[in-house]
Amino acid sequence: MSHELQKFTGHGDEQLPAEIRHAALPALIIRTGEKGAYRFLEFFAAHIRNPNTRAAYYHDVCVFFAWCEKRRVPELSDIRSAHIAGYIEQLMNTHTPPSVKQHLAAGIPAGKLLLGVAFYGRGFAGVRALNNGLNQPYRRYEADHAYAELAERLIDNPDFVRYWDERAKAPYLWNSAARTFITYEDPQSIAIKADYVKSHHLGGIMLWELGQDRDDELLDVIIKSLRR
């Protein structure tokens, strides 16, 4: 057991890393009791050695738990994959430009920042049939879909209609009969992101992952766009 973890042993919290020593525990963690809170802090103090990484991870996890609280998730054990998928979907739609600007404002050189793009889509089932499924609640997370699968089986499938989310600058598919919504990246959206990288002089693009592409279709867009 790490000697950095003394918060619940009666020796005070002076041995906890400074990044989390005075941070408030999320309510979901507090409700797990002393043992649960100890294990939560143990993960950050004993397993993440870089203090900057530790602070960033701690902050992001606390933001996610606060998001769950607002959606009335009562206990840590009640968090489901659907909650995680919904939170990630929200981040994908709203956080890329603000995150870049925040990092630049913090003094991080633009050349050290990479913009992430996904070679896959995320599907949601039981979506409320309003606004072609965009920004609507859903019953369950349906599946991940590699771009190759989307291009070969779903994008031109008459059961699905492709729409464009102007705010997110990304496409999505909507099956009104099955009430299935799939958000994903395609050549158009990736070209826009590549232009963003160039106009802000960022270091480049990272992606996940090559095996989900179809005949290097998305990869070629990245290469050609960044070389223009």
The amino acid that residue 165 corresponds to is D
**pLDDT band at residue 69, thresholds of 50, 70 and 90?**
very high
Higher pLDDT, 40 or 178: 178
* pLDDT tens for each residue of 16-51: 555 555 567 899 998 998 888 888 888 888 877 777
Mean pLDDT of the chain: 86
Q: Percentage of residues in the chain with pLDDT exceeding 70? A: 87
The gap between the terminal CA atoms of the chain, to the nearest Å, is 54
**pLDDT band at residue 4, thresholds of 50, 70 and 90?**
very low
Q: Is the pLDDT of residue 170 over 90?
A: yes
> What domains are there in the chain, each with its CATH number?
1-79 (no CATH), 110-228 (3.10.50.10)
* pLDDT tens for each residue of 198-211: 999 999 999 999 99
Q: What is the DSSP annotation of 140-198? A: EEEEEEEHHHIIIIITT-TT-EEEEETTTTEEEEEETTTTEEEE---HHHHHHHHHHHH
DSSP state, residue 117: E
Q: Is the pLDDT of residue 84 over 80?
A: yes
Q: Is the pLDDT of residue 133 over 80?
A: yes
pLDDT at 34: 87
pLDDT at 54: 80
Q: Assign residue 214 a region: left if phi > 0, alpha if psi is -120 to 50, beta otherwise?
A: beta
**Helix, strand, or coil here: 223?**
helix
Tell me phi and psi for residue 41, to 5 degrees: -70, -35
Helices and strands (H and E) in the chain: how many: 9, 7
pLDDT at 12: 43
Average pLDDT over residues 123-138: 93
Q: Is the pLDDT of residue 64 over 60?
A: yes
Q: Are 213 and 195 in contact (CB under 8 A)?
A: no
Q: Give the β-pairing of 204-208 and 114-118.
A: parallel
pLDDT at 8: 43
